[in-house]
Amino acid sequence: MAAVVAAARVLSEAVLTGGLRALLGGGGGAGCRRWKRDGAWALPGRTWSSGAPPGVPPQAKAAGPGLTGAVLREVAQQQQQQKSTGEEDGKGSDEQQEKTKKQNPAYTKRLLQIVGLLGAGNGIAIIYIFGRNSVDENGAKIPDEFDDDVVIVQQLRRSYKYFKDYSQMIMEPTSPKLLPDPLKEPYYQPPYTLVIELTDVLLHPEWSLVTGWRFKKRPGIDNLFQQLAPLYEIVIFTSETGMTAFPLIDSVDPHGFISYRLFRDATRYMDGHHVKDISCLNRDPAKVVVVDCKKEAFRLQPFNGLALKKWDGNSDDRTLFDLSAFLKTIAMSGVEDVRSVLENYSLEEDPLEAFKRRQSQLEQEEQQRLSDLTQHKKQQLFLGSLASRLWPRSKQQ
Protein backbone atom coordinates (compact mmCIF):
# COMPACT_ATOMS: atom_id res chain seq x y z
CA MET A 1 0.00 0.00 0.00
CA ALA A 2 2.83 2.37 0.81
CA ALA A 3 4.46 1.58 -2.56
CA VAL A 4 1.26 2.46 -4.42
CA VAL A 5 0.91 5.76 -2.55
CA ALA A 6 4.55 6.64 -3.34
CA ALA A 7 4.05 5.79 -7.01
CA ALA A 8 0.96 7.99 -7.20
CA ARG A 9 2.85 10.89 -5.65
CA VAL A 10 5.73 10.46 -8.15
CA LEU A 11 3.24 10.28 -11.05
CA SER A 12 1.59 13.54 -10.03
CA GLU A 13 4.99 15.26 -9.74
CA ALA A 14 6.02 13.96 -13.18
CA VAL A 15 2.83 15.18 -14.80
CA LEU A 16 3.15 18.64 -13.32
CA THR A 17 6.85 18.95 -14.18
CA GLY A 18 6.41 17.66 -17.71
CA GLY A 19 3.49 19.98 -18.38
CA LEU A 20 5.42 22.99 -17.17
CA ARG A 21 8.40 22.17 -19.34
CA ALA A 22 6.19 21.78 -22.39
CA LEU A 23 4.57 25.14 -21.78
CA LEU A 24 7.87 26.89 -21.14
CA GLY A 25 9.35 25.42 -24.34
CA GLY A 26 6.56 27.11 -26.29
CA GLY A 27 6.09 24.08 -28.40
CA GLY A 28 2.52 23.56 -27.33
CA GLY A 29 1.31 20.21 -28.53
CA ALA A 30 4.62 19.52 -30.29
CA GLY A 31 6.42 19.89 -26.99
CA CYS A 32 4.05 17.42 -25.39
CA ARG A 33 4.51 14.99 -28.23
CA ARG A 34 8.28 15.39 -28.05
CA TRP A 35 8.13 14.83 -24.29
CA LYS A 36 6.09 11.72 -24.86
CA ARG A 37 8.47 10.40 -27.52
CA ASP A 38 11.54 10.83 -25.36
CA GLY A 39 12.40 7.78 -23.43
CA ALA A 40 13.39 9.53 -20.17
CA TRP A 41 12.39 12.48 -17.99
CA ALA A 42 14.53 14.32 -15.53
CA LEU A 43 12.95 15.05 -12.13
CA PRO A 44 14.55 16.47 -9.05
CA GLY A 45 16.37 13.56 -7.37
CA ARG A 46 14.89 10.93 -9.78
CA THR A 47 15.29 9.94 -13.44
CA TRP A 48 12.36 8.26 -15.21
CA SER A 49 13.01 5.96 -18.12
CA SER A 50 10.69 4.12 -20.46
CA GLY A 51 13.06 1.13 -20.49
CA ALA A 52 12.46 -1.78 -18.14
CA PRO A 53 14.97 -1.91 -15.28
CA PRO A 54 16.63 -5.21 -14.43
CA GLY A 55 14.75 -7.60 -12.19
CA VAL A 56 11.31 -6.30 -13.19
CA PRO A 57 8.61 -8.99 -13.56
CA PRO A 58 7.22 -9.76 -17.02
CA GLN A 59 3.84 -8.23 -16.09
CA ALA A 60 5.54 -4.83 -15.58
CA LYS A 61 7.50 -5.15 -18.83
CA ALA A 62 4.27 -5.79 -20.72
CA ALA A 63 2.80 -2.52 -19.46
CA GLY A 64 4.28 -0.77 -22.50
CA PRO A 65 6.10 2.55 -22.86
CA GLY A 66 4.95 5.82 -21.49
CA LEU A 67 4.35 7.34 -18.11
CA THR A 68 1.92 4.65 -16.89
CA GLY A 69 4.32 1.88 -17.79
CA ALA A 70 7.15 3.65 -15.99
CA VAL A 71 5.03 3.95 -12.84
CA LEU A 72 4.09 0.28 -12.93
CA ARG A 73 7.70 -0.73 -13.44
CA GLU A 74 8.76 1.41 -10.47
CA VAL A 75 6.12 -0.22 -8.24
CA ALA A 76 7.17 -3.69 -9.36
CA GLN A 77 10.81 -2.88 -8.69
CA GLN A 78 10.01 -1.76 -5.13
CA GLN A 79 8.04 -4.96 -4.50
CA GLN A 80 10.95 -7.00 -5.82
CA GLN A 81 13.32 -5.20 -3.46
CA GLN A 82 11.02 -5.86 -0.49
CA LYS A 83 10.83 -9.54 -1.42
CA SER A 84 14.62 -9.76 -1.65
CA THR A 85 14.94 -8.07 1.75
CA GLY A 86 12.45 -10.55 3.26
CA GLU A 87 14.39 -13.50 1.89
CA GLU A 88 17.61 -12.11 3.34
CA ASP A 89 15.90 -11.64 6.72
CA GLY A 90 14.61 -15.22 6.56
CA LYS A 91 18.07 -16.52 5.83
CA GLY A 92 19.44 -14.48 8.73
CA SER A 93 16.82 -15.86 11.15
CA ASP A 94 17.53 -19.43 10.03
CA GLU A 95 21.21 -18.91 10.65
CA GLN A 96 20.41 -17.48 14.09
CA GLN A 97 18.26 -20.50 14.93
CA GLU A 98 21.01 -22.89 13.85
CA LYS A 99 23.46 -21.01 16.01
CA THR A 100 21.08 -21.15 18.98
CA LYS A 101 20.59 -24.90 18.53
CA LYS A 102 24.31 -25.43 18.62
CA GLN A 103 24.68 -23.28 21.74
CA ASN A 104 21.83 -24.91 23.77
CA PRO A 105 23.47 -28.35 24.29
CA ALA A 106 26.70 -26.71 25.35
CA TYR A 107 24.86 -24.49 27.83
CA THR A 108 22.89 -27.44 29.23
CA LYS A 109 26.03 -29.49 29.61
CA ARG A 110 27.78 -26.67 31.43
CA LEU A 111 24.77 -26.17 33.73
CA LEU A 112 24.66 -29.89 34.59
CA GLN A 113 28.34 -29.83 35.40
CA ILE A 114 27.85 -26.91 37.79
CA VAL A 115 24.88 -28.63 39.47
CA GLY A 116 26.86 -31.85 39.81
CA LEU A 117 29.79 -30.06 41.40
CA LEU A 118 27.50 -28.26 43.85
CA GLY A 119 25.74 -31.52 44.75
CA ALA A 120 29.02 -33.34 45.29
CA GLY A 121 30.32 -30.49 47.45
CA ASN A 122 27.17 -30.48 49.58
CA GLY A 123 27.34 -34.25 49.99
CA ILE A 124 30.95 -34.12 51.13
CA ALA A 125 30.13 -31.32 53.58
CA ILE A 126 27.17 -33.26 55.03
CA ILE A 127 29.25 -36.41 55.49
CA TYR A 128 32.03 -34.41 57.13
CA ILE A 129 29.70 -32.60 59.55
CA PHE A 130 27.41 -35.47 60.57
CA GLY A 131 30.07 -38.19 60.36
CA ARG A 132 32.26 -36.86 63.14
CA ASN A 133 32.42 -38.30 66.64
CA SER A 134 30.15 -36.84 69.27
CA VAL A 135 31.88 -34.74 71.90
CA ASP A 136 31.26 -34.35 75.60
CA GLU A 137 30.90 -31.12 77.55
CA ASN A 138 34.69 -30.69 77.63
CA GLY A 139 35.05 -31.07 73.87
CA ALA A 140 36.62 -34.55 74.02
CA LYS A 141 35.55 -37.13 71.46
CA ILE A 142 33.20 -39.86 72.65
CA PRO A 143 34.23 -43.33 71.39
CA ASP A 144 31.63 -45.33 69.45
CA GLU A 145 31.33 -48.62 67.55
CA PHE A 146 32.70 -47.10 64.33
CA ASP A 147 36.16 -46.12 65.61
CA ASP A 148 37.84 -49.27 64.26
CA ASP A 149 36.75 -48.63 60.66
CA VAL A 150 38.55 -46.67 57.97
CA VAL A 151 38.04 -42.92 58.29
CA ILE A 152 35.80 -42.56 55.25
CA VAL A 153 33.76 -45.60 56.34
CA GLN A 154 33.41 -44.11 59.81
CA GLN A 155 32.09 -40.89 58.34
CA LEU A 156 29.59 -42.68 56.11
CA ARG A 157 28.27 -45.01 58.81
CA ARG A 158 27.89 -42.25 61.39
CA SER A 159 26.03 -40.07 58.88
CA TYR A 160 23.71 -42.95 57.98
CA LYS A 161 23.01 -43.67 61.64
CA TYR A 162 22.28 -40.01 62.35
CA PHE A 163 19.70 -39.65 59.56
CA LYS A 164 18.17 -43.04 60.39
CA ASP A 165 17.66 -42.01 64.01
CA TYR A 166 16.25 -38.66 62.91
CA SER A 167 13.70 -40.28 60.59
CA GLN A 168 12.83 -42.75 63.34
CA MET A 169 12.21 -39.85 65.69
CA ILE A 170 9.73 -38.33 63.20
CA MET A 171 7.89 -41.55 62.33
CA GLU A 172 7.76 -43.21 65.77
CA PRO A 173 6.35 -41.93 69.08
CA THR A 174 8.78 -40.28 71.41
CA SER A 175 8.29 -43.01 74.00
CA PRO A 176 6.66 -46.46 74.18
CA LYS A 177 5.00 -45.25 77.36
CA LEU A 178 3.37 -41.87 76.72
CA LEU A 179 1.41 -41.54 79.99
CA PRO A 180 2.51 -42.21 83.56
CA ASP A 181 1.13 -45.13 85.52
CA PRO A 182 -2.48 -44.86 86.74
CA LEU A 183 -2.96 -43.26 90.14
CA LYS A 184 -3.12 -45.46 93.19
CA GLU A 185 -5.21 -45.03 96.29
CA PRO A 186 -5.85 -42.75 98.11
CA TYR A 187 -5.88 -40.76 94.86
CA TYR A 188 -8.81 -41.08 92.50
CA GLN A 189 -8.28 -42.62 89.06
CA PRO A 190 -11.29 -42.39 86.68
CA PRO A 191 -12.32 -45.82 85.33
CA TYR A 192 -12.18 -44.77 81.65
CA THR A 193 -9.83 -42.72 79.48
CA LEU A 194 -11.02 -40.26 76.82
CA VAL A 195 -8.48 -39.39 74.11
CA ILE A 196 -9.81 -36.47 72.06
CA GLU A 197 -8.46 -34.38 69.17
CA LEU A 198 -8.23 -30.60 69.44
CA THR A 199 -8.44 -29.23 65.87
CA ASP A 200 -11.86 -29.49 64.13
CA VAL A 201 -13.27 -31.43 67.11
CA LEU A 202 -13.02 -28.93 69.97
CA LEU A 203 -11.70 -25.90 68.06
CA HIS A 204 -11.96 -24.63 64.49
CA PRO A 205 -9.28 -22.39 62.91
CA GLU A 206 -10.63 -19.32 61.10
CA TRP A 207 -8.89 -16.53 59.19
CA SER A 208 -10.11 -13.06 58.31
CA LEU A 209 -8.47 -9.95 56.97
CA VAL A 210 -9.25 -8.05 60.16
CA THR A 211 -8.31 -10.57 62.87
CA GLY A 212 -5.98 -12.95 61.02
CA TRP A 213 -5.86 -16.52 62.36
CA ARG A 214 -7.98 -17.34 65.39
CA PHE A 215 -9.57 -20.49 66.90
CA LYS A 216 -13.27 -20.75 67.62
CA LYS A 217 -14.56 -22.84 70.54
CA ARG A 218 -17.16 -25.46 69.70
CA PRO A 219 -20.48 -25.11 71.52
CA GLY A 220 -20.74 -27.52 74.45
CA ILE A 221 -17.03 -27.87 75.19
CA ASP A 222 -17.39 -26.67 78.81
CA ASN A 223 -20.35 -28.99 79.38
CA LEU A 224 -18.35 -31.91 77.96
CA PHE A 225 -15.47 -31.41 80.38
CA GLN A 226 -17.73 -30.89 83.40
CA GLN A 227 -19.89 -33.95 82.70
CA LEU A 228 -17.09 -36.38 81.84
CA ALA A 229 -14.27 -35.33 84.18
CA PRO A 230 -15.48 -37.55 87.08
CA LEU A 231 -15.88 -40.57 84.77
CA TYR A 232 -13.06 -40.20 82.25
CA GLU A 233 -9.39 -39.34 82.39
CA ILE A 234 -9.40 -36.65 79.67
CA VAL A 235 -6.32 -36.62 77.43
CA ILE A 236 -5.87 -34.10 74.60
CA PHE A 237 -3.98 -35.97 71.87
CA THR A 238 -3.56 -33.71 68.84
CA SER A 239 -1.62 -33.81 65.59
CA GLU A 240 -0.68 -30.15 66.12
CA THR A 241 2.73 -29.17 67.44
CA GLY A 242 3.16 -28.39 71.11
CA MET A 243 4.06 -24.77 70.40
CA THR A 244 0.69 -24.25 68.68
CA ALA A 245 -1.58 -26.40 70.83
CA PHE A 246 -0.34 -25.67 74.36
CA PRO A 247 -1.74 -22.11 74.67
CA LEU A 248 -4.97 -23.22 72.98
CA ILE A 249 -5.52 -25.95 75.56
CA ASP A 250 -4.90 -23.45 78.35
CA SER A 251 -7.58 -21.17 76.90
CA VAL A 252 -10.28 -23.88 76.55
CA ASP A 253 -9.61 -25.50 79.95
CA PRO A 254 -9.27 -22.78 82.59
CA HIS A 255 -10.53 -25.14 85.35
CA GLY A 256 -8.01 -27.92 84.74
CA PHE A 257 -10.32 -30.78 83.70
CA ILE A 258 -7.73 -32.07 81.20
CA SER A 259 -5.34 -34.57 82.77
CA TYR A 260 -2.64 -34.90 80.09
CA ARG A 261 -1.59 -33.37 76.77
CA LEU A 262 0.05 -35.20 73.88
CA PHE A 263 1.18 -33.60 70.63
CA ARG A 264 2.42 -34.48 67.16
CA ASP A 265 5.72 -35.95 68.34
CA ALA A 266 3.77 -38.65 70.22
CA THR A 267 1.98 -39.88 67.07
CA ARG A 268 3.11 -42.59 64.69
CA TYR A 269 3.59 -41.26 61.13
CA MET A 270 2.13 -43.75 58.62
CA ASP A 271 1.31 -43.17 54.93
CA GLY A 272 1.11 -39.42 55.35
CA HIS A 273 -1.13 -39.54 58.45
CA HIS A 274 -0.42 -38.97 62.14
CA VAL A 275 -1.75 -42.12 63.83
CA LYS A 276 -2.49 -42.31 67.56
CA ASP A 277 -1.28 -45.66 68.85
CA ILE A 278 -3.35 -46.68 71.88
CA SER A 279 -0.83 -49.35 72.84
CA CYS A 280 1.63 -46.60 73.84
CA LEU A 281 -0.74 -44.87 76.29
CA ASN A 282 0.02 -47.15 79.26
CA ARG A 283 -3.73 -47.68 79.77
CA ASP A 284 -6.07 -50.66 79.44
CA PRO A 285 -7.28 -50.59 75.78
CA ALA A 286 -10.66 -51.94 76.92
CA LYS A 287 -11.26 -48.65 78.77
CA VAL A 288 -9.95 -46.17 76.18
CA VAL A 289 -12.19 -44.16 73.81
CA VAL A 290 -10.58 -42.14 71.00
CA VAL A 291 -12.59 -39.26 69.50
CA ASP A 292 -11.36 -37.73 66.24
CA CYS A 293 -12.69 -36.39 62.94
CA LYS A 294 -10.40 -38.68 60.89
CA LYS A 295 -10.62 -42.46 60.94
CA GLU A 296 -6.96 -42.66 59.94
CA ALA A 297 -6.06 -41.27 63.36
CA PHE A 298 -7.01 -44.58 65.09
CA ARG A 299 -6.41 -46.98 62.21
CA LEU A 300 -4.26 -49.26 64.40
CA GLN A 301 -7.13 -49.79 66.88
CA PRO A 302 -10.29 -49.06 64.82
CA PHE A 303 -12.73 -50.35 67.47
CA ASN A 304 -11.41 -47.91 70.07
CA GLY A 305 -12.32 -44.90 67.96
CA LEU A 306 -15.35 -42.74 67.37
CA ALA A 307 -15.19 -40.64 64.19
CA LEU A 308 -17.18 -37.40 64.34
CA LYS A 309 -18.00 -35.12 61.46
CA LYS A 310 -15.49 -32.33 60.97
CA TRP A 311 -16.77 -29.13 62.56
CA ASP A 312 -16.94 -26.21 60.14
CA GLY A 313 -17.42 -23.48 62.76
CA ASN A 314 -21.23 -23.51 62.85
CA SER A 315 -22.42 -21.88 66.08
CA ASP A 316 -25.63 -23.98 66.17
CA ASP A 317 -23.71 -27.25 66.40
CA ARG A 318 -24.89 -29.70 69.12
CA THR A 319 -22.41 -32.53 68.57
CA LEU A 320 -20.51 -32.16 71.85
CA PHE A 321 -23.74 -32.32 73.85
CA ASP A 322 -24.64 -35.59 72.10
CA LEU A 323 -21.10 -36.88 72.61
CA SER A 324 -21.30 -36.12 76.31
CA ALA A 325 -24.57 -38.06 76.63
CA PHE A 326 -23.16 -41.01 74.66
CA LEU A 327 -19.96 -41.33 76.69
CA LYS A 328 -21.79 -40.79 79.95
CA THR A 329 -24.16 -43.62 79.07
CA ILE A 330 -21.21 -45.96 78.47
CA ALA A 331 -19.60 -45.06 81.79
CA MET A 332 -22.81 -45.22 83.83
CA SER A 333 -23.62 -48.61 82.32
CA GLY A 334 -20.32 -49.99 83.60
CA VAL A 335 -19.24 -51.41 80.24
CA GLU A 336 -16.31 -53.77 80.71
CA ASP A 337 -14.94 -53.36 77.17
CA VAL A 338 -15.83 -50.20 75.26
CA ARG A 339 -14.69 -51.83 72.01
CA SER A 340 -17.78 -54.04 71.99
CA VAL A 341 -19.95 -50.91 72.02
CA LEU A 342 -17.93 -48.79 69.60
CA GLU A 343 -17.72 -51.66 67.12
CA ASN A 344 -21.49 -51.40 66.61
CA TYR A 345 -21.06 -47.77 65.53
CA SER A 346 -17.88 -48.16 63.47
CA LEU A 347 -19.74 -48.45 60.15
CA GLU A 348 -22.12 -45.56 60.84
CA GLU A 349 -21.51 -42.33 58.94
CA ASP A 350 -22.70 -40.34 61.96
CA PRO A 351 -22.36 -42.52 65.09
CA LEU A 352 -23.93 -39.97 67.43
CA GLU A 353 -27.00 -39.68 65.23
CA ALA A 354 -27.23 -43.48 65.18
CA PHE A 355 -26.94 -43.50 68.98
CA LYS A 356 -29.81 -41.02 69.34
CA ARG A 357 -31.92 -43.05 66.93
CA ARG A 358 -31.31 -46.28 68.84
CA GLN A 359 -31.86 -44.54 72.16
CA SER A 360 -35.19 -43.26 70.92
CA GLN A 361 -36.17 -46.78 69.86
CA LEU A 362 -35.18 -48.15 73.26
CA GLU A 363 -37.23 -45.48 75.01
CA GLN A 364 -40.25 -46.35 72.89
CA GLU A 365 -39.78 -50.05 73.62
CA GLU A 366 -39.41 -49.32 77.33
CA GLN A 367 -42.56 -47.20 77.32
CA GLN A 368 -44.40 -49.95 75.51
CA ARG A 369 -43.15 -52.51 78.03
CA LEU A 370 -44.22 -50.32 80.95
CA SER A 371 -47.57 -49.76 79.31
CA ASP A 372 -48.10 -53.49 78.84
CA LEU A 373 -47.01 -54.14 82.41
CA THR A 374 -49.41 -51.52 83.73
CA GLN A 375 -52.23 -52.98 81.67
CA HIS A 376 -51.44 -56.46 82.94
CA LYS A 377 -51.43 -55.23 86.54
CA LYS A 378 -54.78 -53.55 86.02
CA GLN A 379 -56.21 -56.79 84.70
CA GLN A 380 -54.85 -58.68 87.69
CA LEU A 381 -56.32 -56.12 90.09
CA PHE A 382 -59.66 -56.34 88.35
CA LEU A 383 -59.71 -60.12 88.54
CA GLY A 384 -58.60 -59.99 92.17
CA SER A 385 -61.32 -57.56 93.13
CA LEU A 386 -63.88 -59.60 91.25
CA ALA A 387 -62.79 -62.77 93.01
CA SER A 388 -62.90 -61.05 96.40
CA ARG A 389 -66.45 -59.99 95.75
CA LEU A 390 -67.56 -63.42 94.62
CA TRP A 391 -65.78 -65.36 97.38
CA PRO A 392 -67.89 -64.15 100.36
CA ARG A 393 -71.13 -64.97 98.51
CA SER A 394 -70.00 -68.48 97.69
CA LYS A 395 -68.93 -68.95 101.33
CA GLN A 396 -72.32 -67.83 102.59
CA GLN A 397 -74.10 -70.26 100.32
- How far apart, in whole angstroms, are the C-alpha atoms of residue 215 and residue 218? 9
Strands 46-49 and 40-43, by their bridges, are antiparallel
Mean pLDDT rounded to a whole number for the chain: 79
Contact 48, 70 (CB under 8 A): yes
Comparing 364 with 236, the larger pLDDT belongs to: 236
Q: How confident is the model at residue 28 (pLDDT cuts 50, 70, 90)?
A: very low
- pLDDT per residue as tens digits for the range 162-184: 777 777 777 788 888 999 999 99
Closest by CA to 321, choosing from 202, 204, 223, is 223
Phi, psi of 357, rounded to the nearest 5 degrees: -65, -45
Question: In terms of domains, do 280 and 203 share one?
Answer: yes
Average pLDDT over residues 155-161: 84
C-alpha torsion sign, points 25, 30, 35, 39: negative
CA-to-CA separations, 181 to 63, 178, 281, 283, 336, in angstroms, rounded = 113, 10, 9, 8, 20
pLDDT at residue 96, rounded to an integer: 72
Per-residue pLDDT reduced to its tens digit, 88-100: 555 556 677 776 6
343 shares its domain with 203: yes
Strand partners, 233: 193
Q: What is the percentage of the chain residues whose pLDDT exceeds 90?
A: 40
Smallest CA-to-CA distance from 221 within 319, 134, 94, 356 is with 319
Query: Going by C-beta distance under 8 Å and a sequence separation of 6 or more, which residues neighbour residue 70?
Result: 48, 49, 50
pLDDT for 15 equals: 47
pLDDT for position 175: 86
CATH of the domain at 230: 3.40.50.1000
Same domain, residue pair 285 and 350: yes
Residue 144: domain span: 116-171
Predicted local confidence at residue 38, as pLDDT:
47
CB 194 within 8 A of CB 304: no
Count of structural domains, the chain: 2
Residue 228 lies in a domain: yes
Between CA 361 and CA 276 the distance in angstroms is 34
Q: Is residue 126 part of a domain?
A: yes
State the pLDDT confidence band at 192, using cuts at 50, 70 and 90. Answer: very high
Q: Are 287 and 335 in contact (CB under 8 A)?
A: no
pLDDT at residue 30 is higher than 90? no
Q: How do residues 339-396 score in pLDDT, each as one tens digit? A: 999 999 988 888 999 998 988 888 888 787 777 777 767 666 656 665 666 665 544 4
Which of 164-173, 202-211, 241-250, 315-324 shows the lowest mean pLDDT across its residues? 164-173
One domain, residues 314 and 199: yes
In a domain, 240, yes or no: yes
Q: Is 43 helix (H, G, I), strand (E, B) or coil?
A: strand
Instruction: For residue 35, tell me if it sits in a domain.
Output: no
Residue 235 covered by a domain: yes
What stretches of the chain show up as alpha helix (H) in DSSP? 2-25, 29-37, 58-61, 67-130, 151-171, 221-228, 242-252, 319-332, 338-342, 351-396
Same domain, 216 and 164: no
Q: What is the pLDDT of residue 172?
A: 82
Distance CA 337, CA 372 (A): 33
Could you give the CA distance from residue 226 to residue 179 in angstroms, rounded to a whole number? 22
Pick from 2-11, 27-36, 72-81: least confident: 27-36
The reply to whether 197 and 341 lie within a common domain is: yes
Considering the domain architecture, whether residues 131 and 245 belong to the same structural domain is answered as no
- The count of other CB atoms within 10 Å of the CB of residue 24 is 9
Same domain as 235, residue 143: no
Say if 16 falls within a structural domain: no
Number of Cβ within a 10 Å radius of residue 125: 10
Q: Which residue has the higher pLDDT, 114 or 54?
A: 114
Tell me the three state secondary structure of residue 27. Answer: coil
Cis peptide before 186 (omega within 30 of 0): yes
Query: Taking residues 249-257, what's their average pLDDT?
Result: 93
125 lies in a domain? yes
Residue 141 or 79, more confident = 141
Q: Is the pLDDT reported for residue 51 higher than 60?
A: no
Residue 83 has pLDDT above 50, yes or no: yes
Low-confidence winner among 41-50, 256-265, 309-318 (lowest mean pLDDT): 41-50
Task: Please indicate, yes or no, whether residues 351 and 203 belong to a single structural domain of this protein.
Answer: yes
- pLDDT of 118 strictly over 70: yes
Residue 314: HSE in the Cβ half-sphere, 13 Å Cα cutoff: 9
* pLDDT for the residue numbered 386: 59
> Residue 103 pLDDT > 70, yes or no?
no
What is the pLDDT, as a whole number, of residue 89? 58
Same domain membership, residue 222 and residue 126: no
- In a domain, residue 103? The reply is no
Indicate whether 137 and 204 sit together in one domain.
Answer: no
* Predicted local distance difference test score (pLDDT) of residue 383: 60
More confident residue, 200 or 171: 200
124 plus 225 within the same structural domain: no
